[in-house]
Amino acid sequence: MTIQAQLPDRPPADSPLFDRLTLGIEAHHPFVVDSFALLDHRTRARSIPEQAAPPGRYLSVEHDEQTRLIPLDRPITHIGRGLAADVRLEDAHVSRRHAIVALRAEGIRVLDDRSSNGTFVNGRPVTVAALSDGDVMRFGRVVLRYVEVAPRRKPQPLRRIPLARRPRGRELAGAAA
C-alpha cells in the first residue's frame, strides 16, 4: 500500500518569507483591531480604569488612549467566545474555550485550552506559559497584556526623637543619696 501526501504551498524554511509568517493569522483578515470592542458587555462592565485599580493581577486592554484593566480575581479564569467564559471575546478567530489563566502559589500561567488558532505569548505560540508583568497575550485577533499592580506604599510618618533624654531611674537614685 502506498500513501501519497501533498505538501502545502509554503516557502522553504531557508527562505526569508518563512520568517514573516505568523501562525493563526491569515493575510485577508485585518490584524490591528480595537481589542476593547471585541470584549462582550459583561467583560467591558467589569473593566476598570488603570488609575483606579487596587493592587492585584489584571488583563490590560487599550481603548481610546486609555488603559482598562480586567481583574483576575479567581484562581481559574476561562477566556473564550463561549457563554461560560469569564473573559468573553466576541471574535470568530477565538474558540469557545480558548485559554485558561491559572493563579497558583508559584505564579500565574496561561494554558491553551485546545483552541483552533492557538494562544500566543509575546508573539510565540504556547500550550503552557508562565506569565510575568508586561507579557502580551494574543487570542485570535484580541491582544491583552498581563499587568500586576503593586500596593501603593503609604508614606511613613516621621518619628519624634527627643533631643535631651535622661533615664528616669538615675534621677531618682541621685535624689535619694
Q: Are 93 and 141 in contact (CB under 8 A)?
A: yes
Residue 103: closest CA among 145, 136, 57, 153:
57
The residue behind cell 494554558 is 111
The proportion of the chain whose per-residue pLDDT surpasses 70, expressed as a percent, equals 71
Assign 33 to helix, strand or coil: coil
User: Are 42 and 68 spatial neighbours (Cβ–Cβ below 8 Å)?
Assistant: no
Can you give the pLDDT at residue 34? 83
pTM of the model: 0.68
Residues 98-113: tens digit of each pLDDT: 999 999 888 899 999 9
Helices (H), 36-84: 41-46
Task: Inform me whether the pLDDT recorded for 128 exceeds 90.
Answer: yes
Whether 92 has a pLDDT exceeding 70, the answer reads yes
